[in-house]
Amino acid sequence: MGLIEGETGTQRLIGYVLDVGAGDGRARCRLTLTDDHTNRHGALHGGIAVALLDNAMGATASLTIDESGRAPFLTVSMASQFLAPARAGDELEATGRVTGGGRSLVFIDGVLETEGGRTIATAQGVFKRVPPERLT
Protein backbone atom coordinates (compact mmCIF):
# COMPACT_ATOMS: atom_id res chain seq x y z
CA MET A 1 0.00 0.00 0.00
CA GLY A 2 1.08 3.56 -0.52
CA LEU A 3 2.19 3.21 -4.16
CA ILE A 4 0.29 5.14 -6.82
CA GLU A 5 0.90 3.83 -10.33
CA GLY A 6 -0.72 4.69 -13.66
CA GLU A 7 -3.26 7.05 -12.07
CA THR A 8 -2.96 9.95 -14.53
CA GLY A 9 -2.12 10.33 -18.19
CA THR A 10 1.06 12.19 -17.26
CA GLN A 11 2.11 9.43 -14.89
CA ARG A 12 1.53 6.78 -17.56
CA LEU A 13 3.35 8.84 -20.21
CA ILE A 14 6.45 9.53 -18.12
CA GLY A 15 6.37 6.23 -16.22
CA TYR A 16 7.01 7.37 -12.66
CA VAL A 17 5.69 5.75 -9.48
CA LEU A 18 4.47 7.87 -6.57
CA ASP A 19 5.09 6.48 -3.08
CA VAL A 20 3.00 8.05 -0.31
CA GLY A 21 3.33 5.20 2.17
CA ALA A 22 6.61 5.80 4.03
CA GLY A 23 4.77 7.17 7.06
CA ASP A 24 7.08 10.17 7.45
CA GLY A 25 4.85 12.77 5.76
CA ARG A 26 7.07 12.84 2.66
CA ALA A 27 6.00 11.64 -0.76
CA ARG A 28 8.52 10.15 -3.15
CA CYS A 29 8.35 10.10 -6.93
CA ARG A 30 10.55 7.43 -8.57
CA LEU A 31 11.63 6.91 -12.14
CA THR A 32 14.16 4.76 -13.96
CA LEU A 33 15.52 6.98 -16.72
CA THR A 34 15.41 5.82 -20.30
CA ASP A 35 16.40 7.54 -23.53
CA ASP A 36 12.77 8.74 -23.70
CA HIS A 37 13.47 11.05 -20.73
CA THR A 38 16.62 12.70 -22.10
CA ASN A 39 17.28 15.88 -24.04
CA ARG A 40 19.34 16.16 -27.22
CA HIS A 41 22.53 16.04 -25.12
CA GLY A 42 21.65 12.66 -23.60
CA ALA A 43 20.92 14.11 -20.13
CA LEU A 44 17.67 14.15 -18.17
CA HIS A 45 15.33 16.72 -19.71
CA GLY A 46 14.66 19.58 -17.28
CA GLY A 47 10.91 19.35 -17.84
CA ILE A 48 10.91 15.73 -16.68
CA ALA A 49 12.97 16.68 -13.60
CA VAL A 50 10.48 19.42 -12.73
CA ALA A 51 7.53 17.05 -13.27
CA LEU A 52 9.04 14.54 -10.82
CA LEU A 53 9.68 17.27 -8.24
CA ASP A 54 6.20 18.78 -8.70
CA ASN A 55 4.53 15.40 -8.16
CA ALA A 56 6.54 14.56 -5.06
CA MET A 57 5.99 18.02 -3.60
CA GLY A 58 2.26 18.13 -4.41
CA ALA A 59 1.69 14.68 -2.91
CA THR A 60 3.67 15.76 0.16
CA ALA A 61 1.25 18.70 0.52
CA SER A 62 -1.63 16.26 0.20
CA LEU A 63 -0.21 14.11 2.99
CA THR A 64 -0.67 17.05 5.38
CA ILE A 65 -4.44 16.39 5.33
CA ASP A 66 -4.89 12.94 3.75
CA GLU A 67 -2.84 9.86 4.58
CA SER A 68 -3.63 8.40 1.14
CA GLY A 69 -1.84 11.33 -0.52
CA ARG A 70 -4.71 11.88 -2.94
CA ALA A 71 -6.32 15.09 -1.61
CA PRO A 72 -5.98 17.60 -4.47
CA PHE A 73 -3.51 20.47 -4.21
CA LEU A 74 -2.58 22.92 -6.97
CA THR A 75 0.90 24.25 -7.60
CA VAL A 76 0.79 28.02 -7.03
CA SER A 77 4.47 28.63 -7.69
CA MET A 78 7.63 26.60 -8.04
CA ALA A 79 11.29 27.47 -8.52
CA SER A 80 13.83 24.87 -9.55
CA GLN A 81 17.60 24.59 -9.63
CA PHE A 82 19.44 22.09 -11.83
CA LEU A 83 22.68 20.92 -10.25
CA ALA A 84 23.92 17.85 -12.15
CA PRO A 85 22.98 15.72 -15.15
CA ALA A 86 21.35 12.31 -14.96
CA ARG A 87 21.59 9.71 -17.73
CA ALA A 88 19.56 6.80 -19.08
CA GLY A 89 19.77 3.93 -16.61
CA ASP A 90 19.89 6.17 -13.53
CA GLU A 91 17.33 5.45 -10.80
CA LEU A 92 15.87 8.77 -9.62
CA GLU A 93 13.84 9.73 -6.57
CA ALA A 94 12.22 13.10 -5.91
CA THR A 95 11.21 13.75 -2.30
CA GLY A 96 9.11 16.54 -0.82
CA ARG A 97 9.43 18.10 2.64
CA VAL A 98 6.99 20.52 4.28
CA THR A 99 8.70 23.73 5.41
CA GLY A 100 5.68 25.80 6.47
CA GLY A 101 2.17 26.90 5.67
CA GLY A 102 -1.30 27.20 7.10
CA ARG A 103 -4.86 26.10 6.36
CA SER A 104 -4.84 26.57 2.60
CA LEU A 105 -1.21 27.12 1.51
CA VAL A 106 1.68 24.73 2.14
CA PHE A 107 5.36 25.46 1.48
CA ILE A 108 7.38 22.49 0.25
CA ASP A 109 11.05 21.89 -0.57
CA GLY A 110 11.96 19.13 -3.00
CA VAL A 111 15.12 17.29 -3.93
CA LEU A 112 15.75 14.99 -6.89
CA GLU A 113 18.55 12.47 -6.35
CA THR A 114 20.05 9.40 -7.93
CA GLU A 115 19.96 6.09 -6.11
CA GLY A 116 23.56 6.75 -5.10
CA GLY A 117 22.64 10.05 -3.43
CA ARG A 118 23.87 12.51 -6.08
CA THR A 119 21.63 15.59 -6.14
CA ILE A 120 20.31 16.31 -9.63
CA ALA A 121 17.90 19.17 -8.87
CA THR A 122 16.15 20.99 -6.05
CA ALA A 123 12.94 23.02 -5.89
CA GLN A 124 10.81 25.16 -3.64
CA GLY A 125 7.08 25.49 -4.10
CA VAL A 126 3.82 26.82 -2.76
CA PHE A 127 0.82 24.51 -2.97
CA LYS A 128 -2.86 25.37 -2.43
CA ARG A 129 -5.49 23.00 -1.17
CA VAL A 130 -8.42 22.57 -3.54
CA PRO A 131 -11.55 23.28 -1.46
CA PRO A 132 -13.96 20.30 -1.46
CA GLU A 133 -16.72 22.41 -3.02
CA ARG A 134 -14.47 23.06 -6.05
CA LEU A 135 -14.06 19.36 -6.84
CA THR A 136 -17.42 19.05 -8.58
pTM value is 0.94
- Tell me what pLDDT residue 132 has: 74
pLDDT over 90 at 134, yes or no: no
CA distance 6 to 24: 23
Alpha carbon of 43 to those of 14, 62, 86: distances in Å? 15, 30, 5
Kindly report the CATH number assigned to the domain that includes residue 125. 3.10.129.10
Into how many domains does the chain fold?
1
Q: For residue 16, what are the contacts with CB-CB under 8 A and spacing of at least 6? A: 29, 30, 31, 51, 52, 55
pLDDT of 91-122, one tens digit each? Answer: 999 999 999 998 889 999 999 999 999 999 99
Boundaries of domain holding 101: 3-134
DSSP code for 45: -
What percentage of the chain's residues is helix, strand, coil (to nearest 5)? 20, 40, 40
